[in-house]
Structure 1
């Protein structure tokens, strides 16, 4: 997938065929990728999803489970169970080759041309900006520490330069686009894995395999903690609804099982491995300050390598987010080219990061907001998976890109009521079942404060949409080219 033919068209006539390679700007945005321009194999998706998930944040999440009071065995079980939801990310990916366009366009089949704009503006654009800012903030703080260690002055100007440099590196990858991402991530996934395996070796040397929490959890308290831990782990795969964007260049006849499998496996394996390492670290290290704890067991010469790996992982993670957020902005109806759309989300998120770290610490507020992210991401995934099941993954890219009144996916005044009803029902169920630092829904309260929002949002949205949307979706679904 790193190399593909492009036929430029000028005035309706086919021009000279060019070859788009890694290092060249991607020519396509949300437009349909013709079959003649699709290349590659599903297995190439493994590295695309592995690189963002060989992650420092995985260590933090794993440690948090132990700090919540779980035993090592319980934490590891929750880590495996929560990461199984990467299977849903894989399922969403199969719509990319089928439609030949992005997930934010495919979802017009679920919500209608106009209804889709409102849903993806929230689930695919605003939330992306918050995630970009949070990830850049975490990487920047690590880079600040390395700069001080190397003798740099404690200067807000220098800190601002570091933030902008990390953001710029991210946006360069996003702007160059698909071919560059595929080629670069095959290298990054190996390099990052080597670094984090070394870190894992030092963690294993400090692991207390007989660890038991100071106070064991039992009964309702254990149940609430297990469910809460599951929600924390599973919220990560549910935040990646952009898997069709990375798979849309594959040939249409790519096997769906292979597309879903390589996508899910690429994210699942490193997520389980390194989240588990974070749980092991918390058995002896003070992971309330994870960066200091991890650096405290590493040799001094390796700390800069570790920090650079943290930054590179952030670049890999945020590049996918910014890339898809740019495509989402086009899908909303903003008439901009892909590059400008990527730069807009990048500039917004960079400004948020600078403000958070240099002017006013609003990250606590943003973190609180993200406690509720699953309330909208879970229903969006539930509706999407249900639609793939209902229409058997038959999507027609050119039909989906037709935004005219009366087009197949215009539905009623531009809105597919079944999709909107499924999404809103799932979101309402999530609100009623959520448990956060500032709001506990009545259903959650009835179950002792267990955060059931993720499961409730997924199931309710899929059931409501499946029940109300089946007849109408079949009516407008046809085989491409029919």
Structure 2
């Protein structure tokens, strides 16, 4: 009797952790989509459940708010940021690719590079915050535990350790990153709860800040600018994930109910109240016991935290720094490397990840030891988020007007170096979406007012209150919808059910031409079933 052939592995069997991911921004085959909304929650929460989020959580105290005022600003920033962010999760399951590629439908085949550029800047900013804050905590904890000298070589080794580990995880890809974040979510949460015990005896929720009844009129007049500025810095954290959610949700099956995907993204940011409140509470203790560390001119949250920590908490601080640095760094760097493999098609996902990673690491070292811009990076991150939010508005309104219908082949035209298709518009640019984005982003930057850090040319027109983000949101929404009404898009981009809140025009769509293009001029086939309501 002849031997039986070896069974063929099921196509739905997930690859092993140590298998390097081969998928780039090409549409993920249905058989390989084995992720769940819970996995999305773990990645989005794990990427923010870190030491760098604690640093952002300290800003309300640095701006002079009391603990309760700071808590209100934190709640406002987290909830509003989560509401802005969560709809961005649906593009991945619908199109099986990342959000920058999906933006081709609304900014044009070439206009999608806007999303790639924004994701690169966001990744560098938050990767840098992660490495710097975690490296400083690791060196400081080792100094208190083992007497390690806090010298330049010590910091170089710490930063290199974090950056190297993060880059290795990103090279392996999605599955390995998911595994790291599964571990990080549980362990970092446990360490934050241990930290609550460590500082419970010193915490006083009655910390009053500088905006007290006895403060002079000039000081009291700065309350609302400080409150809004603190809320916007907190809000920058959830919104910063907008360009990256599709990197992870593209592995979720298209048939997954939409409300579960959106809910996972929303809850992942609500859960970040844990590190935010930890940073807020410990900053109020630092302001009382070691105020020199919360000087707005030269804040040092990590140094202040180590100064007030009990000796037994130094090791948990080191562990939290290591775990948190890995989690935030991987979620920031992975997507940018993924996307640049499509911007530069000669590079594989691994090669693009190595290139972006090396460039980011160079920025980290030059920025820390050469230019000394560590204290300015939070301002940079906030400005980048101000530019990213209008892009997200265009994407979300575009999804609504298109009724969630997309042509996955036409989305890949840029990546395949082709021309034409439903999203070619005017030479690869959809000037409607592009105009709505750049006008609102520019206005947002002009009206930015971050107390003591950055004030745009028009930042004082609202009595010192930072109205940059609300203004950018409203202008982007109104301008984009107005342009869609005044200058209709081709009927073909809206699919079988037609447009919502927009007019259309029956203009011909150029056929896709170039490598592996269809061999006829007929419209491309309809996309797979989108997410269920």
Q: TM-score, normalised by structure 1?
A: 0.90
Report how many residues are paired. 467
CA distance in 2 between counterparts of 1:319 and 1:194 reads 20
Which range moves more in the overlay, 438-447 or 369-378?
A: 438-447
Q: Which deviates further from its counterpart, 228-237 or 291-300?
A: 291-300
Q: Does 1:480 align with 2:527?
A: yes
Q: Verify: 1:128 aligned to 2:128, yes or no.
A: no
Native 8 Å contact 1:42 1:262 kept in 2: yes
Deviation string 1:139-177 (CA, Å, 9 cap, x unpaired) is: 222222234342445554454333222111101111111
State the alpha-carbon separation in 2 of the partners of residues 124 and 198 from structure 1: 34
1:139 to 134, 137, 144: 134
Equivalent position of 2:207 in the other structure: 211
Pair 1:312 & 2:329 matched: no
Contact 1:54/1:196 (8 A) holds in 2: no
Distance 1:59 1:190 in 2: 17
Instruction: Provide the C-alpha distance between the structure 2 equivalents of 1:305 and 1:26, rounded to a whole number of angstroms.
Output: 32
Match of 1:377 in 2: 388
Matches within 5 A, 1:237-256: 237-241=238-242, 242-256=244-258
Give the direction of change, closer, same or farther, for the CA distance of 1:222–1:39 in structure 2 (3 Å limit): same
Q: How many angstroms does 1:327 deviate by?
A: 1.7
Other-structure match for 2:159: 163
Query: Aligned in 2, Cα 1:6/1:398: closer, same or farther, shift over 3 Å?
Result: farther
Offset of residue 107 of structure 1: 0.9
Match of 2:523 in 1: none
What secondary structure sits across from 1:162 in the alignment? helix
Listed as ranges, the matches of 1:441-460 within 5 Å are: 441=456, 443-460=458-475
Measured at CA, do residues 69 and 162 of structure 1 come closer, stay the same or move farther in structure 2, by a change above 3 Å? closer
Q: TM-score, normalised by structure 2?
A: 0.81
- Shift of the alpha carbon at 1:121? 4.1
Distance 2:127 2:382 in 1: 16
Secondary structure at the counterpart of residue 404 of structure 2: coil
Residues 474 and 54 of structure 1: CA distance in aligned 2, closer, same or farther (over 3 Å): farther
How many angstroms does 1:300 deviate by? 2.1
Structure 2 Cα separation of the partners of residues 222 and 157 of structure 1: 41
Larger radius of gyration: 2
Distance in 2 separating the partners of 1:473 and 1:34 = 29
Closer, same or farther in 2 for the Cα pair 1:336/1:71, shift >3 Å?
Answer: same
1:454/1:474 CA distance change after superposition, 3 Å: farther
Secondary structure at 1:431's aligned position in 2? helix
Deviations 1:217-249 (A, max 9, x none): 787532222211221111111211210111011
Corresponding residue of 2:442: 428
2:73 paired with 1:56: no
Matches within 5 A, 1:48-127: 48-84=43-79, 85-117=81-113, 119-127=114-122
Superposed, 1:219-298 pairs within 5 Å as 220-241=221-242, 242-269=244-271, 271-286=272-287, 288=294, 289-298=300-309
Distance in 1 between residues matched to 2:445 and 2:226, nearest whole Å: 19
**Residues of 2 paired with 1:367 and 1:258: CA distance?**
32
Check the 8 A contact 2:20/2:172 in 1, yes or no.
Answer: yes
Which has a greater percent of helix?
1
In 2, Cα distance between equivalents of 1:61 and 1:261: 24
> Hey, what's the Cα distance between the residues in 2 that align with 1:222 and 1:155?
39
Residues 83 and 429 (structure 1), Cα distance of their counterparts in 2 relative to 1, 3 Å cut: same
**CA–CA distance in 2 between the matches of 1:439 and 1:60?**
18
Partner-residue secondary structure (3-state), 2:346: coil
RMSD of the alignment, in Å? 2.4
Mark the CA change 1:147 to 1:374 in structure 2 (over 3 Å): closer, same or farther.
same
Contact 2:24 2:342 in 1 (8 A): no
**Aligned-residue offset at 1:366:** 4.3
Shift of 1:345: 1.1
* Unaligned runs of at least 5 residues, structure 2: 1-8, 288-292, 295-299, 496-525
Q: Distance in 2 between matches of 1:346 and 1:6?
A: 34
Which of 374, 378, 402 pairs up with 1:363?
374
Q: Point out where structure 1 has 5 or more consecutive residues left out of the alignment.
A: 8-16
Secondary structure at the aligned position of 2:449 is classed as coil
Q: Give the stretch that moved more between structures: 407-416 or 32-41.
A: 32-41
Paired with 1:376 and 1:204, the residues of 2 have a C-alpha distance of: 39
